[in-house]
Structure 1
Amino acid sequence: MRLTNKIKTFSSAKLRISENFLIEKVFHGPIEDVTGHLKDLYIREEITDHINIILLVGDFSECPLLEKAIRSQFPNRKVINPQEGSVAVMKGAVLFGHSPENLMRKSGLEICTESTRITRKSSAYYGVATDVPFIEGEHLPLYRSVNQAGNIVCTDVFKCLISKNQELVIGETCIEMEFNSPNFQEANIEIYRANREVQYCTEKDCTMIGRILAGFSDCCHHFERRPLKIQLQFGLTEKKAIAIDLTTNKSWEVKLDCLL
């Protein structure tokens, strides 16, 4: 039974889909997304000058339409599509899950030299929400507030701790910032990820990825602003934020819901 001449037919209990339908309706969008992302990457000088090989892995790597499109869009790059590339990601995830320390070893020895450390470049901006003195004409009235000490402040200001494309050494990099809690009884620390440079944490493309609520049960003085330290740590298998009370050394920890 024929449904259309161009899209699909039933024949011998099988559904047959034409190649043109797959190209135009099914794979066009994903292929455009992949090639577009590669074009954006090759705009960067550090990639254009040093990376000439495109390695295809994952389930979609077995799609001949994708490989054809990449070879067409990047004729001056070497495109490698290895056998069983579709299971490479899965195998790597299983091996990493069983023994993540293998990434830190080479020939059975611990990697300790600068040249062999595992580094990643941050794909976004990471920071915390802070309060700063309110400045007329510079800050929006929407964010004007009065804190417990009676000071006029601007709330929800994005304090950037990690910039986009900043190099991070996995398992070693620890970003720190010290501040005084504006609240005398507790500190509400919100960690954000932004895809672009923003001024306020409520802007578009800025998402909260973690939150720490630190309570000061031992605070005897009503107007004591507690000094704190916030740390962003990037390990092999997790990213986390740690808040440390510098008066008592008590700490609070939260796992960050994000990828680098």
Structure 2
Amino acid sequence: MKKLSLYWLFLFSLMGKTLWAQDTLRPKVILKTVPTTLIDPDNTLTLGAEIPIATRWSIYQEAGWGNAALSPWEDGKKFASKNNFRFRTQGRYYFSDPYSQRGSWYLAAEYYRKEVFIKENRALGRDCNPATGGCAYFEEGLVKTRRRVSASHVKAGYQVVVPRRLVIDLYLGGGFRKLLVTNDAEEGTINNWFWNRDLFNFRTLRPGSYETTPSITGGFSLGILLGQRNPKALPLR
């Protein structure tokens, strides 16, 4: 009788451990932040949310805002005002369970948009001749510029959940981007000549609609998984 009692005690103990080991997190949403955008030249505080829509599919949305006063690169003298906005809409497919401590690789397709609004004091040439580039005179003026970047990317990434629901997401990808720059400078003015010196026009403020160019994206995000335990019962045999 004593041996039989010990046998049942051992069996229930083993079942309890097995049931505990099979507990999983049933995620409802993953709240994320992207630390690298804080030190971007067009810096933003960026927050996002990933929502599972099926076993291996999810939708991710992020948005961010920042200005020159919060930038580590600006001294507040170059621009009278600069505000940055960005958002990203993404669909993901995971190759295995992305909410476990083993993690999972994934593929994602996304649309990305960044808007930069700048107010800048600038010497503007008046009564300029477009043929020669000469101007009758120059005067100081406040110019409002808007720079819009639109991009589409395909990414490969790896996401893992570490103890206490912390989520680490690493990714790298590429695609194409389109740049459009406009300002409210009056017609017949010539803007600062040094705009043409920007490499590949990535950082240019010169008005124009630029050709589509290749785009590379990469980085990481940190998040917290919000969900509930989902115990899986084992049938007795």
Alignment TM class, shorter chain as reference: under 0.3
TM-score by structure 2 length? Answer: 0.28
Tell me which protein shows more helix as a share of its residues: 1
Structure with bigger RCO (C-alpha 8 Å, 6+ apart):
2
Tell me which protein shows more strand as a share of its residues: 2
* Rg comparison, structure with higher value: 2
TM-score by structure 1 length? Answer: 0.26
